[in-house]
Structure 1
Amino acid sequence: MGSEDALHSATTLASYNVLLQVLFRVLTFVLNAFTLRFVSKELLGVVNVRLALLYSTVVFLSREAFRRACLSGGSRRDWRQAVNLLWLTVPLGAVWSVLLGAVWLWLLEAPDPAAVPHYAPAVGLFALSALQELLAEPLWVLAQTHMLIRLKVVAESLSIVVKCVFTMVLIMVSPHWGLYIFSAAQLLYTGCLVLCYAVYFLQFLGSVPAKERGFPIGSLAELLPRREQGEPLIDWKLARLTWSFFKQSFLKQILTEGERYVMTFLNVLNFGDQGVYDIVNNLGSMVARFVFLPIEESFYVFFSRVLQRGGGARDQKQEDAAMAAEVLESLLKLVLLIGLIITVFGQAYSHLALDLYGGPLLSSGTGPVLLRWYSGYVLLLALNGVTECFVFAAMSKEEVDRYNLVMLALSVSFLCLSYLLTGWQGSVGFILANCLNMGLRIAHSLHYIHRYFLGSPWGPLRGLRPSPALLLCLALSAVLTRVSEAALCCDSGWLWHLAHVAVGAVCLLAVLVAVVLSETQLVLFIRTQLLSRYAKKDT
């Protein structure tokens, strides 16, 4: 597959992934708003922080390194050995499930059984759901590598819908079941996900479309681990790259879920405060999750296919390096623009958003302050996702190993900062610590990108310079919306609320007009490489 085809596939994948994440976040948004009215914030804290952390830790540590290694280089490899390597995620997941399950049961403080019953069975079920999801890992990697785009969208969308409907029905029918409801829903979600992948590949393997694509696997039996005569069981070069990514993934998980680890292991917040923080965190990160994360995942595949690991831009095929630079510049400008908009408008609309979403439970305490800080943090999340997406795809194995030391230093500093800043500023301290560490990660990535393109005719970091007209429009919008909030929101009636929203809508429209008029290259990239892909079929 050429670089142009890889770009088309990546943008198509990004577009579909954005739609998937929108659906996921909207359903989660509705589910949280619904559960806030039926269950306690203590129970939500246990589910959304304690148990969700167990699940995400087991899954991430078991598969992240394998995914990054096996996606590198695209479809050009011995897939028999790659599939054998991917099956190692299952026994690895079993080990992590047992070890971490024991920690969650016996080393961490258990919630009050009167307020949150059935904690021990819930730990076991969440660990089991993580192990169940790993059964689909070889199928997921094959689908991603060969751009079976709709499979992921349909499988995850269907699983999410089933989980949400199941949870809402049980909450209304038997709310006293508590953690059993959320545990069963999680188990149902991963089971449905695995089933969708298995059913799809059962009818796809050996079919005419599979043969036309040159799919390397002919039947489900070939997906089972086995040794080919005269060949090693696994690709040891790929295994060494996986080990490098594994060491890095452990540190990245601490950075990604750092505040949850601090809350879980250091008890800086009670379960009720953890529940409120998690709700605000999820609300604040909606755009980051359903826009930035799909872009990062999809264009990591693109950069991995176009670029050879190691070296610099001058060591690559010049047409591939030029395309990578152009795409990176457009992505940086795109996520910078989205992040700036969220930061500006988040300051004036955080209180209203929380009041509409959760009522006084969220808007009367520290919730609005948390959400305002988080809206600024989203800007850093946007830039970090794209820059690290490129850096991880371009680094050699030796550079990945060296970067592990950087991640180690960042992990230690983040945990220390979280503990200290939380003692000083409460929940806001988590966001401050995240901002500081994210800034350091961005600085490292920008330095790498600068060195990578040094001496070449391309400068993708120009994407970090928005036009003066756009900056002026954003500054005026920030002033006008804060004045509107002070005058019209948030203790007045609905008409005043609508007037405040109308002011924001007019300001946002002015910002978008400024983008269209002053950022023509970005608009062209969005129109030709992102929006046009919604109407295209799988390539």
Structure 2
Amino acid sequence: MVYAPIPVGALMTCFAVGYYLSQIDDASLGRFPGYRLSIYLYGISALVELLAEPMFMVAQYKLWFKTRVSVEGTAVIVRCVLTCALTVYGSRAVVTGSSVSEGSNNNTMGVLAFAIAQFVYGLLTLGGFLLAFWSKSTERRDLDRKRMAAAIKKRDGITTEDLSSSDDDGTVSMSALLPRRLTKVGKDGKVESFYFDKELLKLSRTLTSQSLLKHILTEGDKMMMAKFTMADAQGVYAFVLNYGSLIARILFQPMEETSRTLFSRLLSDIAPGSTVGNKDAKGEMTDNGTITPKTLTETQLGNLVLSRNLLLTIMKFHVLLGLVFIAFGTHYTATLIDLVVGSYWSTLTKAPQVLSLYCYYVPIMGLNGITEAVVQAVASEKELGVLSYWMIGFSAVFCSTGAFLMGTLGLGAEGIVLANCVNLIMRIVWSMWFLSGYYGRYIPISAGTSSLVVKESYGGILARFAYVPWQNILPRPAVLVVFGAAYVLTAMTEQWIGWQGLINKAVHLGIGVVAFVVAMGVVFLSEKQFLRDIQGIVRQRRR
């Protein structure tokens, strides 16, 4: 199955490369150096990376995480260094005598620097996995044993048979990586021969369709930017996306993966459609074909309450983090961009305005990530299928909203950020609605007892949300007030003091630092229980 992506991906790559080559005009070729060559390099890089996919999947199955980190880490570092070096070289190699004004963005390498670095990344990924697998292969092991046996025989004049034993030491044969027909004996005793197992192929199709749908929702913003905006707006959005998504890649992604694993372990035996491990807890079939409510054990009840409280704690963390970005990020984007990348991006583009709007998007992105991670951890296969249909609806709303904001209103990069906010807010509400129903299945049997029973109905749609105290994710009023005051204060200093001069920057940043310290002090005094809960989560993750 791991070879299936290679022909499919190769076909998609050829279509993509052909499409972009057909869209090139003379103006683009003159404006972007190496544009056509860059497209070819990206296509070839994709094909090379596809060839490494089987080894990547086997490494995942073998739990060779160190191998994966070493190969991918080395390739990423080289790609970053090479991109930086080529970009710097291109900025210094502007043709002498050309009329280049101060603060312009001319570069002789342009996008070609990124394409070359990506091509090298693909080669290093494929070569790194080949070397890693050769070092762990049975062929390499047998060769080393033969050499060792020959050395011992030459030294002592004896042959050591033990060195050529074929015990399973976690290695893998290089020849086993090549595709071949498989055989298995069926229930009737007949031997079947095939390339793809039918059940596995069916499951792969389902997962692939869901992955494509999520990919469209994730990457659809770039597709829509290419459709409705000019190259300048696309560049601004790419700039903002790379800087703005740092917090998502560094903090949100590991937290989502950890939460998905943790919730799966806590709630695996009380997920929808599962049976309870206690004999007395099993439901019984009635005459009309329905199942009587199932009583949960004390352990299951504890895990259920723990998971709900854990979910609310993590969501509150995202809300507080979002308040930090909104209060202290929205009015410092121009200052940050001016200090990091220069006056071109801070004054001649809309990057500061778009990045300010992106600060509102950060908490929405965090809440969506954690809620969907929990949904995937506890939902049944049927419920995940229902989620796919909802995702199609969310995708349609996202596309129509983006087309209206960018095409009709002409908001450009700001419009796509707003469309993403609308999309993720809908997904958050759906996930909260689903999780309300999940936890709402279990209600107290009677006052004073800790047992729960399965609940079949929830009342109205809005009433369903009442089964989880979602209001607990909101900070205390004092915290909201201090962040609101900080937002107003930083807005006033940006407007009255400005950020263009060095002194202006120092005063503006100094006021923000003081406001941040005060806000964190209020959080520390008002949210002591929340901070203890976060500390407990960190300790649990380390264990």
Do the structures match in fold with TM over 0.5? yes
The corresponding residue for 1:230 is 184
State the aligned residue count.
442
The corresponding residue for 1:464 is 473
The corresponding residue for 1:488 is 497
Which of 508, 511, 514 is matched with 2:516 structurally?
508
Cα deviation digits, residues 390-413 of structure 1 (max 9, x gap): 222333333233222222222222
1:390 is aligned to 2:352: no
Aligned-pair identity in percent equals 29
- Quote the offset at 1:448 in angstroms: 0.9
1:479 is aligned to 2:488: yes
The corresponding residue for 1:31 is none
CA contact (8 A) 1:251 1:407 kept: yes
Which of 301, 310, 314 is matched with 1:331 structurally?
314
Summarize the Cα distance change of 1:312–1:521 in structure 2 as closer, same or farther, 3 Å threshold. farther
1:166 is aligned to 2:82: yes
Distance across 2 between alignment mates of 1:322 and 1:201? 45
Which of 260, 279, 302 is matched with 2:239 structurally?
279
Which of 427, 445, 449 is matched with 1:441 structurally?
427
State how 1:320-469 maps to structure 2 within 5 Å: 321-322=304-305, 324-364=307-347, 365-422=349-406, 423-424=408-409, 425-456=411-442, 459=468, 461=470, 464-469=473-478
Summarize the Cα distance change of 1:404–1:216 in structure 2 as closer, same or farther, 3 Å threshold. farther
Summarize the Cα distance change of 1:384–1:203 in structure 2 as closer, same or farther, 3 Å threshold. same
Cα deviation digits, residues 443-475 of structure 1 (max 9, x gap): 111111111111337948466232333323322
Structure 2 residue runs of 5 or longer lacking an equivalent are 94-107, 142-167, 186-193, 278-299, 444-466
State how 1:153-302 maps to structure 2 within 5 Å: 153-173=69-89, 176-203=108-135, 218-226=172-180, 228-230=182-184, 234=196, 236-264=198-226, 266=227, 268-302=228-262
- Quote the offset at 1:143 in angstroms: 5.0
SS at match of 1:348: coil
Cα deviation digits, residues 501-538 of structure 1 (max 9, x gap): 2222233233333444444454345434437867x8xx
Summarize the Cα distance change of 1:173–1:427 in structure 2 as closer, same or farther, 3 Å threshold. closer
Letter of the 1:373 counterpart: L
SS at match of 2:382: helix
- Quote the offset at 1:384 in angstroms: 0.7
CA contact (8 A) 1:241 1:397 kept: no
Distance across 1 between alignment mates of 2:2 and 2:269? 21
- Quote the offset at 1:138 in angstroms: 4.3
Distance across 2 between alignment mates of 1:143 and 1:526? 33
Greater fraction of residues in helix: 1
Summarize the Cα distance change of 1:456–1:164 in structure 2 as closer, same or farther, 3 Å threshold. same
User: Which structure is higher in RCO with an 8 Å CA cutoff and minimum separation 6?
Assistant: 1
CA contact (8 A) 1:126 1:187 kept: yes
Summarize the Cα distance change of 1:312–1:372 in structure 2 as closer, same or farther, 3 Å threshold. same
Summarize the Cα distance change of 1:366–1:215 in structure 2 as closer, same or farther, 3 Å threshold. farther
Larger Rg: 2
Summarize the Cα distance change of 1:308–1:105 in structure 2 as closer, same or farther, 3 Å threshold. farther
Comparing 270-279 with 441-450, greater Cα deviation is found at: 270-279
Summarize the Cα distance change of 1:111–1:234 in structure 2 as closer, same or farther, 3 Å threshold. farther
CA contact (8 A) 2:328 2:490 kept: yes
CA contact (8 A) 2:269 2:276 kept: no
Distance across 2 between alignment mates of 1:497 and 1:432? 29
Using structure 1 for the length normalisation, give the TM-score. 0.72
CA contact (8 A) 2:337 2:346 kept: yes
Using structure 2 for the length normalisation, give the TM-score. 0.71
Summarize the Cα distance change of 1:197–1:449 in structure 2 as closer, same or farther, 3 Å threshold. farther
Summarize the Cα distance change of 1:307–1:350 in structure 2 as closer, same or farther, 3 Å threshold. same
Distance across 2 between alignment mates of 1:330 and 1:145? 33
Cα deviation digits, residues 83-111 of structure 1 (max 9, x gap): xx233222221121122222222257676
State how 1:97-116 maps to structure 2 within 5 Å: 97-106=13-22, 112-116=28-32
Summarize the Cα distance change of 1:307–1:217 in structure 2 as closer, same or farther, 3 Å threshold. farther
Letter of the 1:467 counterpart: R
Summarize the Cα distance change of 1:369–1:171 in structure 2 as closer, same or farther, 3 Å threshold. closer
CA RMSD of aligned residues (A): 3.4
Distance across 1 between alignment mates of 2:379 and 2:485? 41
Letter of the 2:8 counterpart: L
Cα deviation digits, residues 106-151 of structure 1 (max 9, x gap): 2576762111243333222212222322334344445556765554
CA contact (8 A) 1:348 1:481 kept: yes
Summarize the Cα distance change of 1:313–1:483 in structure 2 as closer, same or farther, 3 Å threshold. farther
Summarize the Cα distance change of 1:400–1:346 in structure 2 as closer, same or farther, 3 Å threshold. same
CA contact (8 A) 1:205 1:219 kept: yes
SS at match of 1:230: strand
Distance across 1 between alignment mates of 2:488 and 2:363? 19
CA contact (8 A) 2:272 2:380 kept: no
CA contact (8 A) 1:380 1:438 kept: yes
The corresponding residue for 2:531 is 523
Comparing 452-461 with 309-318, greater Cα deviation is found at: 309-318
Letter of the 1:183 counterpart: A
CA contact (8 A) 2:313 2:473 kept: no
The corresponding residue for 2:454 is none
Letter of the 1:473 counterpart: V
Structure 1 residue runs of 5 or longer lacking an equivalent are 1-84, 208-213
CA contact (8 A) 1:339 1:378 kept: yes
